[in-house]
Amino acid sequence: MTSLADKFASRLANLTPFGKRNDDPLANLKAASRWVENLPIGDAFKCQEAILNALKRFNENSTQYTKDRLAIFMLLDEKSRDLQDTLVRQYLRNPRMSRPAESQLWHAVYGLYWEVARGYHAFVLHLARTAGKVQHEDAIPLITLRAIRTFGQLLKWRAIRYLPAGDKLWLRLHNLYRIAETEGFHRQTLWAYAEDTAGCSCETAYLHILMLSLAHSGTLYPRQLDQTDRWLCNWHGMLRMESRFDSNTDNFVVDLSADHGPRRVRKPDTDKPLRFWATADLLLKLQELHAALQTGTPPAQLGLTETARTAESLELLEHLQRQWASLATREQRRAPRESVKRLVDVTHGLSAIINQIKAADTPASVSPYGTGLNYNEADDVQVYGFITDRTRERVSQMTLPATQHSPDVERWVMNDESEYGYGAVVESRDKDWLRVGALIGVKSHDARDWQLGIVRRLSRLNDDTSSVGIETLAEKPTLAMLYDTATSGYTVNGFDNSSASLPHPSLWLDGDKKTLIIDPIHFALGKVFQIQGTPERKFIALGNPIERSEGWTRVAVEPVNS
């Protein structure tokens, strides 16, 4: 028979806080190590999710900041890094994944970074408040460095989704750096993790985050942002932060008391806790790298990672030179913007744009059933000798929806306009396609001709709306059909049944330099096509890509003698 004391002990055990139960895998460092080692391998997502849930439970239930609990937390962080890297690579390598899959993966990655940052932040604040009173305060430089780097990842992953910082992330980051400065270890070189290839200080990690923020501004693809993040690791030695402003060298500033990131120096307020730095040495390095790439040096040989490509690296280096330039030499806006309220029709994707241009180019006299008379019109002519008003009305009603009510066409209100594009704030909750680099067709709602545009800037204002910057192309797009000149020779009853005989619709841009916008699946350098829909040319060869993004490629074309 169970004694009253045993019952009381059992009831008390059930009330014991997280971390004290004997069956809790995170009750002590030994149990936590054993639990982590026994996680099922082979499914990175499930393993990462298990550690994420453990960290969340740890943060939500822990009010103790002992040396053992810090060791458990650091173990979970360290063991999650390989799993996190696997999910990050999966996210960045699959830009065309469905919205639900993208959302699940992004929230998994962001959620883990959030719990790691949250835990380290709490420990840093506690140790800073109890300086000189606890035995494990010697860990504060390392966990402050880890906290700063993880807050940087939170800002990066919000930028990947074009989201504002939110959650007072900047203020929390600034506060961590101020603690490092106050305690005097902000320039102490540490190895944040055992697998790091180089040391890092709180100051260089902090500057790294500030420079990445300056590089983005809502204009980079996720992979470009990640590439810049990796490149910056090699450039830490060229950046140094100062509390005193040097007007001859310093060109960027950050306010440690404000909930926003860095800005170019204009009129610094000396009453605020400002920190300054210069980018002259780094800009010189970028110029050297750009010149070396142009002479044919492989990107990997220049330390620009093994996966970097020359054309993409050149484009990104040019972007960074503009973003990190001083106030006096920064790139100016090509044309002034004017505030407007203009209704425009918008369609997106190469296929939808081609369909809308095809519909707009179809003469009004052409029947919706195809070229020539349709059977209703022919019957009228045969019976009455003319086309009746009833048939005309029916045909008119069938042709109207072609462009005005197409499901591929949306109506946007443009807020500003310049010679080179538009700016708009649009509803974006269900617009999975709305990303930097998206190809769109735009036209005034009462116009007939379509113009091509490219989304150059994107900022998610909230869950429902986004601010969008669109560059419009000056050249008028013309529908052109491309026919393969090589056939497979596979025939049935004398007819070629290969897909090579099927035409590929594309958009011809007849500017100073002749270019084509095509589906990337049909691109091969030097490939020859027979072309229909353009004057004078019968055969063309594809040249170097000028620009590419998801679902489209713009390439130069060269004439070929038939």
pLDDT value of position 347: 94
pLDDT value of position 334: 57
pLDDT value of position 513: 87
pLDDT in tens, 209-252: 999 999 998 889 999 999 999 999 999 999 999 999 998 898 99
pLDDT value of position 146: 97
b vs e for 457-482, b when ≥16 Cβ sit within 10 Å of the residue's Cβ?
A: bbbbeeeeebbbbbebbebebebbbb
With helix as H, strand as E and coil as C, how does 24-89 read? CCCCCHHHHHHHHHCCCCCCHHHHHHHHHHHHHHHHHHCCCCCHHHHHHHHHHHHHHHHHHHHHHH
Structure tokens at 261: 């990131």
pTM metric for this prediction: 0.79
Residues 6+ apart with CB under 8 A from 455: 434, 435, 436, 437, 438, 440, 468, 469, 470
The architecture of the domain spanning 338-360+400-472 is Beta Barrel (2.40)
Helix axis angle for 44-61 and 99-129, nearest 10°, is 40
pLDDT value of position 156: 97
DSSP 401-412: HHHHS-TT-EEE
**C-alpha span between 380 and 387 (Å, rounded):** 5
- Whose tokens are 């960290």? That residue is 55
Whole-number mean pLDDT of the chain?
A: 84
Q: Domain boundaries in the chain?
A: 16-241, 287-331, 338-360+400-472, 477-559
pLDDT in tens, 546-556: 888 888 999 99
**C-alpha span between 533 and 527 (Å, rounded):** 18
pLDDT value of position 217: 81
Ranges of residues in the chain with a pLDDT under 70 are 1-23, 62, 131-137, 329-336, 362-405, 486-501, 536, 562
Helix axis angle for 140-160 and 202-216, nearest 10°, is 10
**C-alpha span between 395 and 376 (Å, rounded):** 9
pLDDT value of position 53: 94
